[in-house]
Amino acid sequence: MKSITIQGQLRTESGKKATRQLRSQKLVPAVIYGGQSEVNFSALEADFKSIVYTSEFMLANITVEGKSYRCILKDLQFDKVTDALIHIDFLELVEDKKVIATLPLKYVGTPEGVKAGGKMVIKMKSIKVKTLPKYLKEFIEVDLSNLQLNENIRVENIIADNMEVMNSPRIPIASIAMTRQLKQEEATAAKAAPAAKAKK
């Protein structure tokens, strides 16, 4: 699984004044929780970019005061006016403690419905799962090969070994819609059928 390394500095002061000072140095305040103790730190805004501005799921190896923490991204806060990153939360991974994570869905295979002239509509790009850290992965693969025209594939159809899927099972994640051209062709064929019978 992809991971990034972040070098952090321990934060001893909190409050708006301390936060403003950090931001003037292009540092972003952050916190690590979920482990033995909460760790408040800051790091350069540039160091967070590859984990913040991506749809990929990855781990963050964060070092603060010589101690390393293996984490996943949990929450982000952006300035409402400037859209700048102003705070970031990380969850420390503890071996025997289940975590809730959002994993991307990777769709594979050419659906039968697409071969028949339909259009694939992706309705969900990720799902929420609860699992042990050792089972976390970059994405969950969903095979669409058998999906027919006008059919849906739902959350309950996702194969996620050793994971509890937190989303509602009946929610559609992808479907094959009939294209306008196909609808027109079917309508034309339907109109032509009675005319052909009448000629007989």
What tens digit of pLDDT does each residue of 130-160 get?
A: 999 999 999 999 999 999 999 999 999 999 9
For domain 100-181, the CATH class is mainly beta
145: left (phi over 0), alpha (psi -120 to 50) or beta: alpha
pTM, rounded to two decimals: 0.82
Domain boundaries, the chain: 3-94, 100-181
Contact between residue 34 and residue 92 where contact means Cβ atoms under 8 Å apart: yes
Distance CA 24, CA 121 (A): 44
Residue written as token pair 């929780």: 33
Q: Do domains 3-94 and 100-181 have the same CATH topology?
A: no
* Contacting residues for 185 by C-beta, under 8 A, at least 6 apart: none
What are the tens digits of pLDDT across the range 45-80? 899 999 999 989 999 999 999 999 999 999 999 988
pLDDT band (50, 70, 90) for residue 195:
low
For domain 3-94, the CATH class is mainly beta
